Structure 1
């Protein structure tokens, strides 16, 4: 039997890296989309050590055509996609009186729009049982005014996940955002590895009681 496949959009050394390694340990092959070639190569090496077939692509995920092409290529090479994980967001330290409309739209294109592109590209290669997971944040409900666009991104991506879940449910594909209600750190309940475990659990919920948003409070 072929191994299941997860494609991670916005891969890097934090939560997305932990998600990639956790799924690899659980028997998944992993496709990685990110912007830092060195980080992707290092993560790809970790996946190889875990016995996973890893594919990496350096791509700006706000470039819709390039992102769609990469996801399509990965899906064809792997033979399908079982889980699509979406991680990116933009942190821009500007309050609402400093933030320009162009800056807000640029950040939303990364933190929300790129999910739409990614799902639309992955959908033809997903079947019943497929899952879409998203790294959410308490900023959706309690934004820090000094980084106003982040709260907009996290509220927007959560809203989009709810719509994706309802749209894809008839086909047996479900979407979920994991709202991380804490600050990421190297120790304690909010390490990237602990958050990755919460994302794994959310992706493997009982479908009868499926929730398209799952809070993680540690």
Structure 2
């Protein structure tokens, strides 16, 4: 049985990805901070015939995140797919001239320490399987920095660099690493940024295994 870990799972994109992969027979580990919301989401997915379990962890606590992913793999088996897609905090988005070094601690914990901890935890299992997919989901500042959103611009750049290095390094091992950049907000009913449409894009990135960076919409949208 195949499984996917969705770090930053919520009722929008995370739920849509869980449904899309669940339809293909994947078991789903839902990882986020709020246990109550995770249990509600897992229960709703179970009602749709999808095997899903919630695991509570804060991505800004890398040891905690790694421990939860280890626990989840013990329940669901080694992960074939990891998606890292938590939504950044609003206070990460300060203007660049109002951003001091301490203001970057949170964004870096969120967008660098978190994904590094997650990848290092699941990678041995993917290597044992002989294949895998790691999906990074970021906002538009990952591609074009914004002077009013310095924290995410700087941290997403670092996350993007890490993801691209993984893409280059792991390709020969059958592990595909890709990034989906979503400019602006995820919008229900939008032809390109509806959660179900984005989930389909992520499924296609997993299945087609072509290229590193993909765009959900035009950057100036």
Aligned to 2:146: 144
Aligned to 1:191: 194
Displacement after TM superposition at 1:114 (Å): 0.6
The question of whether the paired residues in 2 share the 8 Å contact of 1:91 and 1:149 is answered with no
Residues 24-78 of structure 1, C-alpha deviation per residue, up to 9 Å, x if partnerless? 1221100011012232122101221222221211111221221111111111222
Indicate how the Cα distance of structure 1 residues 122 and 22 shifts in structure 2: closer, same or farther if over 3 A, else same: same
Give TM-score scaled by structure 2 length: 0.89
The within-5 A match list for 1:65-84 is 65-84=63-82
The within-5 A match list for 1:7-86 is 7-86=5-84
Displacement after TM superposition at 1:83 (Å): 0.3
Looking at structure 2, the residues matched to 187 and 196 of structure 1 have their Cα atoms a distance apart, in angstroms, of 13
Displacement after TM superposition at 1:86 (Å): 0.4
Runs of 4+ that moved beyond 6 A: none
The gaps in structure 1 that reach 5 residues or longer are none
Looking at structure 2, the residues matched to 125 and 171 of structure 1 have their Cα atoms a distance apart, in angstroms, of 12
Looking at structure 2, the residues matched to 32 and 212 of structure 1 have their Cα atoms a distance apart, in angstroms, of 24
Displacement after TM superposition at 1:154 (Å): 2.3
Displacement after TM superposition at 1:152 (Å): 1.9
Give TM-score scaled by structure 1 length: 0.90
Where 2:94 maps in the other structure, the secondary structure is coil
Find out whether 1:217 has 2:220 as its counterpart: no
Displacement after TM superposition at 1:202 (Å): 0.9
Aligned to 2:85: 87
Looking at structure 1, the residues matched to 170 and 90 of structure 2 have their Cα atoms a distance apart, in angstroms, of 30
Displacement after TM superposition at 1:182 (Å): 4.5
The gaps in structure 2 that reach 5 residues or longer are none
Displacement after TM superposition at 1:176 (Å): 0.4
The question of whether the paired residues in 1 share the 8 Å contact of 2:134 and 2:178 is answered with yes
Aligned to 2:112: 112
**Number of aligned residue pairs:** 213
Looking at structure 2, the residues matched to 43 and 135 of structure 1 have their Cα atoms a distance apart, in angstroms, of 20
Q: CA RMSD in A?
A: 1.7
The question of whether the paired residues in 2 share the 8 Å contact of 1:24 and 1:50 is answered with no
